[in-house]
Amino acid sequence: MDWSEALEDAHHTGKTRVFPETAFDSKLENYLKHRVHEQRDWFLSKSTEHGKRAQMLENGVICVLIFALISSAFHIGSLWHPSGIVRDFWHDLVTVLAILCPAIGAAIVAWLAIQGSSRLSRSYRNTAMELTHYEQRLTNLQTEDAVQFRFRRVVLEVERLLTDELRQWWLVIYPETPKAR
């Protein structure tokens, strides 16, 4: 039996507790403000932060790999130069850069993948949008009568969403299966 079925069973058997309207209004308002609003704002903020970090790293990779391509072209050009291989400082520098830049670009790409910033940004933005939906549902409940049961259902849905997001974060940040020690 999942949580929604348990809630419905408890409601129909009379096992759910009804709060006085004044206490209930306060609980709904506090939950809306201190849980849903704050979590939505946090997810939006983190989505933007991770999105900017991912974009910065992606731009860095593009610059490094373009520089690697240019260095490689110069290196090939210097090898085909009519006077033969010119062994001077600039030739050695271009050779080193042509060899190192792809490795540096690959390292940045790997770092980007390890950080998971792009995935976290999209995931956080999606969670924030879902929280906005629940926020609207809770706001609508404030104007209705006899809504304690529906409030409980929305609270459980919000907590399920936040639990799922935490689980997804764990999989992105720690993708390996934990090992017993």
Domain membership of residue 124 (yes or no) is yes
Instruction: Supply the pLDDT for residue 9.
Output: 65
- Number of residues in the chain: 181
Could you give the CA distance from residue 73 to residue 78 in angstroms, rounded to a whole number? Answer: 9
Domain membership of residue 177 (yes or no) is no
Domain membership of residue 78 (yes or no) is yes
Could you give the CA distance from residue 148 to residue 153 in angstroms, rounded to a whole number? Answer: 9
Tell me how far CA of residue 178 lies from CA of 26, 110, 171, 174, in angstroms: 42, 21, 11, 8
Domain coverage including residue 26: 3-13+20-172
Domain membership of residue 30 (yes or no) is yes
pLDDT in tens, 72-97: 777 666 666 655 555 677 767 777 77
| Nearest-5° Cα angle at 161, 26 to 3 | 80
Q: What is the DSSP letter of 69?
A: H
Instruction: Supply the pLDDT for residue 176.
Output: 66
Could you give the CA distance from residue 59 to residue 56 in angstroms, rounded to a whole number? Answer: 5
Q: How many domains does the chain have?
A: 1
User: Residue 146 corresponds to which tokens in the numbers above?
Assistant: 């006899």
Domain membership of residue 180 (yes or no) is no
Tell me how far CA of residue 86 lies from CA of 6, 69, 98, in angstroms: 80, 20, 16
| Nearest-5° Cα angle at 136, 134 to 140 | 115
Domain membership of residue 38 (yes or no) is yes
Instruction: Supply the pLDDT for residue 129.
Output: 92
Instruction: Supply the pLDDT for residue 181.
Output: 59
- Highest mean pLDDT, choosing among 5-19, 51-65, 100-114, 157-171: 157-171
Domain membership of residue 181 (yes or no) is no
pTM: 0.60
Domain membership of residue 178 (yes or no) is no
